[in-house]
């Protein structure tokens, strides 16, 4: 397994589900009115840190990730299901840079969980537009798109070295030659 210390990945949060226009039709009620539910929220994208410097190697072959989209609303005022969140695992010491905004996240502690991208809000169904003046709304809104971005991830490794030897044995000269 090759050690990878930097990678570029494309990540997309889930889109919100659409609201729907539906009408209540039952045996008991002749004019049931609007019953369209709201759409579900799109899934968010999180990163979580673990103490494993080889975690970036799993992103070598697959570099595009997306959270689940929200489901559309349904009849009888049923809301659509929310999309599942996506959690990416990164090693401790990673520096994550959003290439669109330039925003940087330093992941320095194990178990740290940071929200990278937010999912889109669900659209409104026709039931949510009902009011005392508008008893039969015939409109619904679409779900909002989730955020997307390209992220550059690099692992910063630090090594401590100690040289032990007699005075004037050339420790400083050796160190200067090795590090240029």
Q: Is the pLDDT of residue 42 over 70?
A: yes
Cα–Cα distance list, 122 to 41, 136, 165 (Å):
5, 21, 67
Give me the pLDDT at residue 147, please. Answer: 93
Q: What percent of the chain has pLDDT over 90?
A: 39
DSSP E strand boundaries for 92-171: 94-98, 104-107, 113-117, 148-155
Helix, strand, coil percentages for the chain (3-state, nearest 5):
10, 25, 65
Position 160 scores a pLDDT of 66
**Whole-angstrom Cα distance, residue 159 to residue 66?**
35
Query: What's the average model confidence in pLDDT over 6-34?
Result: 86
User: For 2-6, 71-75, 129-133, which range has the lowest pLDDT when averaged over its residues?
Assistant: 2-6
End-to-end Cα, the chain, rounded Å: 29
Q: In angstroms, what CA-CA distances link 73 with 21, 25, 61, 79, 163?
A: 9, 17, 36, 5, 67
Query: Which of 169 and 80 is assigned the larger pLDDT?
Result: 80
24 has a pLDDT exceeding 70: yes
Token pair of 155 as six digits: 């692992």
Residues 6+ apart with CB under 8 A from 90: 47, 48, 49, 50, 55, 56, 96, 107, 153
pLDDT bracket for residue 3 (50, 70, 90):
low
* Number of residues assigned to the chain: 180
């Amino acid at each position: 397994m090759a050690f990878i210390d930097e990678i570029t990945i494309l990540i997309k949060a889930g889109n919100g589900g659409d609201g729907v226009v539906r009408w209540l039709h039952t045996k008991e009620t002749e004019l049931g009115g609007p019953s369209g539910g709201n759409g579900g929220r799109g899934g968010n994208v999180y990163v979580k840190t673990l103490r494993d410097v080889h975690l970036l190697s799993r992103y070598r072959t697959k570099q595009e990730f997306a959270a689940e989209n929200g489901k559309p609303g349904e009849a009888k005022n049923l809301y659509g299901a929310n999309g599942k969140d996506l959690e990416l695992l990164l090693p401790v010491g990673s520096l994550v840079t959003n290439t669109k905004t330039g925003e940087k996240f330093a992941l320095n502690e194990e178990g740290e969980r940071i929200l990278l991208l937010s999912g889109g809000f669900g659209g409104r169904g026709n039931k949510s537009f009902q009011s005392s003046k508008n008893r039969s709304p015939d409109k619904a809104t679409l779900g909002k798109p989730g955020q997307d971005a390209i992220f550059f991830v690099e692992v910063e490794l630090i090594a401590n070295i100690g040289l032990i030897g007699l005075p004037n044995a050339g420790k400083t000269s050796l160190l200067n030659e090795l590090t240029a």
